[in-house]
Amino acid sequence: MSGKDDDGSTKDLSEKTSVLQSDTFKLRLAQAGQAPPSIVLLVGPANSVGRQWPIEDTDRIIGRAPTAHIFVDDKSVSKFHAKLVMAGGDVSVIDLESTNRTVVNGRQIPPLIPHRLQNNDQIKVGNIILKFLERGSIETVASALSFDRGHTDALTGIANRGALQSKAPELYKRSDLLGVSFTMMMFDIDHFKRINDTFGHSAGDYVLKEITAVIRDKLIRGNDFFARAGGEEFALLLLGSPQKQAEEIGERIRATIEGHQFKFERHVMPITISIGIAFKSEKDTGWELIFERADKALYHSKNSGRNRVSVAS
């Protein structure tokens, strides 16, 4: 394949493509050179397969406890199942007298005795399988990029619904362990279809990206979890925010979006959002129940005139 260069001469475009691919590969090699050893989830909860944990310090616990450094939500895994230790650049795994034992490459390892890991070793904890990648492995970079792409919304750059379904149970359990509140806030854009129909889908995409940027950069804390749940619907998870504070955050988000100028090309579009908030209660047995209440509260806001915050009873 060929085409005209800037000076009018014919240039082989396949050569340009080759250069781009080569540069990308060199970048990944450079990134890999700085990549620490890591653990990748091969078999386990569907929404966490491919997740990667860098091993940047010693005594990294693998377990079902929300405080475990490598948290895997599966009943076959003990709360504190195994431990990864670093010494002299090597990484070893130690079984912590787990119920279902730790197996490396098909062989059970004895409890409390370090087993040095090699690149691509498979570690089975309960019914979960993890893979070890040594320091500087280019696969570390590739698998991290792949997982990030699978859990990131392509349009807005924040977490997607899959990431929400992975993070919510983790935060729910962490709230139990720490004895702090857990809040779920759902909101969507009022009359979003009208925006698309009136100004076009490019304008709708602009609104989605602009709302994301305003909320992410100005209205939430770094440890809050913000995701696009689908279409024009978003979710915000708060850990440790008292009820009054969470309601104030919801109202601040609503008011800020109402007052923000959304200008696409020559059009200024009045944009508002409806919000539903639900709090974890002692009767809840899982995060899904909080999600359902937040969703109902959201629709109460929409059915009550939109551009308002409703709190689930």
d(CA 130, CA 51): 10
Determine phi and psi for 23, rounding to 5 degrees: -65, -40
Query: Which residue in this structure is represented by tokens 């909080």?
Result: 290
- Measured at the CA of 149, the angle between CA 120 and CA 145, to 5 degrees, comes to 40
Query: Which residue in this structure is represented by tokens 């890999």?
Result: 32
- Active site amino acids: 232
278 class by beta-carbon count within 10 Å (0-12 exposed, 13-18 middle, 19+ buried): buried
Amino acid letter for position 102: T
d(CA 292, CA 52): 30
d(CA 4, CA 14): 13
Report, in angstroms and rounded to the nearest whole number, the Rg of the chain calculated over CA atoms.
24
